[in-house]
Each structure stands twice: as structure tokens, then as C-alpha cells.
Amino acid sequence: MDNIQLPGFIIQHLFQKSLVDLSTGKEEQLLPPSGELNFFGGNKQHIILLVNNPDATFITDQQLTFLSGILNACKLTLEDVGLINIASYTGVSYKKISDNFNARIIIMFGLLTDEIQLPFVMPEYQRQSYNNQVYLAVPSLNDLENNRELKRKLWVALQQIFSL
């Protein structure tokens, strides 16, 4: 029992809340010089999920439960994806995401393409191939969770991407 080592993403998930508030009042931070982005999950399938949630480190517990259901329907787990909350960074780009995570699929929840500096605009639920990657823009997790029609459209798009 003295030599148990947990992966970093599990430790990060276990200790999401801090006992001491060290914030300086400014929530956004520039990308670190190394260009590394914090993410939640294992990213084993090189599938990146992007959210913009200034109220949480990544997503809320309720959103995590909903997202887990979506992943289960796609025969995926949190180990297969990497979840990035871009609200924590300014100037994040699709190039940084690609370089850091070797992403093959990027799903943007509640984001527009210009928020990650993509050189094109695409409608929600439309699969877009670019730079040997597949992009999909869908409404935010909160909007999806509370709207049956939006969930149906998401399911159709995910079936195309993951060949379900």
C-alpha cells in the first residue's frame, strides 16, 4: 500500500476543490511558455472535447454525468478522451491543441470556430475535416442536456463520426 501511484488526471479529479483560495482575482491565464494545456481524461483515442466553462476547472459534476452518458453511448470512456476548458486560457488555438494532443477528432461544446482560431466557419452538427482532423461544433453541455431535439441532432452527428 505504500507504493501506490495514481495517474495525474485521477489526482487532479480527486482534488478539484482547494482549501485555500490562491486566486488573484484574474481567472484567465496566458498559455504557459511550454504551451501545455491542462486536460481531464486519458486521451487514449486522441479525441479532444473543448468547453468554455468559466465556473469550473473543467466541467461541473452534473455536466460530467451527462458527458459520461454521451461517451458510453459512443462506446468511449473518459480514458479515451481529453477534456479541455478553454476558459482558463487566452489565445488558445487549434494548432496548440493539435500539437499538444495529436488530436484526430475535436468536438467543440458551445464554441465557435474563431475561438480556437480555425480559419473557417461551420454550422453546428456538421462534421468538418481539416488538417487531417475531424471537427464538430455542437451546443454547450447545458443546452444539450435540457433539450431533447438538440440531443437527437448530436446523436446523429456522433453516429457519423464514430461509425455507430
Average pLDDT over residues 113-132: 89
Cβ distance 134 to 104 under 8 Å? yes
Point out the least confidently predicted range of 17-21, 69-73, 128-132: 17-21
Rounded Cα gap, residues 24 and 67, in angstroms: 31
* pLDDT tens sequence across 13-48: 666 665 454 554 444 444 444 457 888 889 999 999
- Asked whether the CA dihedral 94, 96, 99, 100 is positive or negative, the reply is negative
More confident residue, 163 or 155: 155
Beta bridge partners of 85: 51
Rounded Cα gap, residues 14 and 9, in angstroms: 9
User: Which strands sit side by side in the sheet containing 105-109, from one edge to the other?
Assistant: 40-41, 81-85, 47-51, 105-109, 133-138, 128-130
Q: How far is CA 98 from CA 115, 134, 157, in A?
A: 15, 11, 22
Domains of the chain: 33-162 (3.40.470.10)
- Grid coordinates representing 10 are 485521477
Average pLDDT over residues 64-89: 90
Q: Where are the beta strands (DSSP E) in the chain?
A: 29-30, 40-41, 47-51, 81-85, 89-90, 105-109, 128-130, 133-138
